[in-house]
Amino acid sequence: MSTTTTPGQPFFAWRQGQLHAEDLPVADLARRYGTPLFVYSKASMLAALAAYQRGFAGRKSKICYAMKANSSLGVLQVFAQAGCGFDIVSGGELERVLAIGGKAADVIFSGVGKTRVEMARALEAGIGCFNVESESELEVLAEVAGAHGCTAPVSIRVNPNVDPKTHPYISTGLKGNKFGVAHERTLAAYRRAADLRGLRVVGIDCHIGSQITDSSPYLDAMDRVLDLVDAIEAAGIPLQHIDFGGGLGIDYQGVQPPAADQLWAQLLRKLDARGYGDRELMIEPGRSLVGNAGVCLTEVLYLKPGEQKNFCIVDAAMNDLPRPAMYEAYHAILPVAPRDAAEARYDVVGPVCESGDWLGRNRDLAVQPGDLLAVMSAGAYCMSMASNYNTRPRPAEVLVDGGHAHLIREREQPADLMRGERLVG
């Protein structure tokens, strides 16, 4: 049987009737490590990163992986070894970077609710930059930095009021979103930052959303940000870097986003035309680096026919793959070893005691109990958002590198979930 690649995930392909991750049959991994199981392709991550690196060739730039997409240590290690910095949104994420031997100087600290403890720890570690998201945060950060006898490097995240044309839950650049400083307040915020002891202005930041599949919102946002750069520097406040965030989408269901190198060719032409082509650039891709690098393997437990719907009940659930329940998000669900049999239409659901526990609706599948299914494009915002609801241990994770499989997270056990709990009296 010839090799057939999966849509959007060329490093996952069927060979001799079996789905492979790079050179390894995923069924073998399921037998070895159990299910549910997340399987990641290192080659896929590096190929996605290479598109950004091509796009920025010859430019002063830093690619900071937005680790909220997938913060597993083995994944972070891949990007650190490839020369990436990191974009974090919590003190816990900083500790993960440090745990793999990463440098805080290569870290951008974003997020709307940084605590004083998180600020102090980041300053102590030598953070590269704080992306400040409100005027009140400027005041608190200056106070914390002064108390610790140091200076905090800052950029201000601008909310440019640009529609990213994505799901409202993952839109971040509109006036109604909680993120960033309003476009019309940005210059005043920079003047205040420049006046505050304990702060050092180093850049400007913008992030308009996630899973963006059209280049026009990026182009619109760049124009609005560069207008602000003009005004800020005219006020005597120099900016060393311009950070255009991340948010580029992936192909979940046949919608093709622009390739990263092609998108940045467009953006860099605009940047050059505006006279800012020599500035240091920062970007923070997340999903576009890891989303299509992962699948979740799950075993079919039961087939349950019904008058209105047929249910395919599997051992993965909404606690393992939260995106469908949270966003009604689509993930392709494919058989690991396709059967030569008639298909039936199923809702693919998990064991969690919620009607919202579904992974896919109205899927045509030829399956039997014991078969393995692959939930595709599961490398981003799945394991990083997974929970222990219903006291369900989180899955194991495996990183595939050619013909080698590396267990990068052991499957949790019930005892792990109860370790910090105490009985009363």
What whole-number distance in Å separates Cα of residue 203 and Cα of residue 238?
8
- Residue 159 · residue 181 · CB < 8 Å: yes
pLDDT at 221: 85
353 labelled catalytic: yes
135-166 burial, b at 16+ Cβ within 10 Å, e below that, comes to bebbeebbebbeeeeeebbbbbbbbbbbebeb
The tokens 């049959």 sit on which residue? 25
Half-sphere exposure (Cβ direction) of 354: Cα atoms closer than 13 Å: 14
- Choosing from 64, 150, 206, 353, the catalytic residue is 353
pLDDT, tens digit, for every residue of 146-199?
A: 999 999 999 999 987 765 454 443 444 444 565 678 888 899 999 999 999 999
pLDDT at 261 over 90: yes
The tokens 């930052």 sit on which residue? 193
Least confident of 123-127, 139-143, 168-172, 274-278: 168-172
User: Residue 151 belongs to what H/E stretch?
Assistant: none
Give how far the C-alpha of residue 272 lies from the chain's centroid of Cα atoms, to the nearest Å: 29
pTM: 0.93
What whole-number distance in Å separates Cα of residue 249 and Cα of residue 244?
15
Confidence of residue 228 (pLDDT cuts 50, 70, 90): very high
pLDDT at 179: 66
- Residue 403 · residue 24 · CB < 8 Å: yes
For the chain, the average pLDDT equals 92
Catalogue all structural domains in the chain, each as residue range(s) with its CATH number: 4-41+291-418 (2.40.37.10), 110-285 (3.20.20.10)
In the chain, helix, strand, coil percent, each to 5? Answer: 35, 25, 40
pLDDT at 15: 94
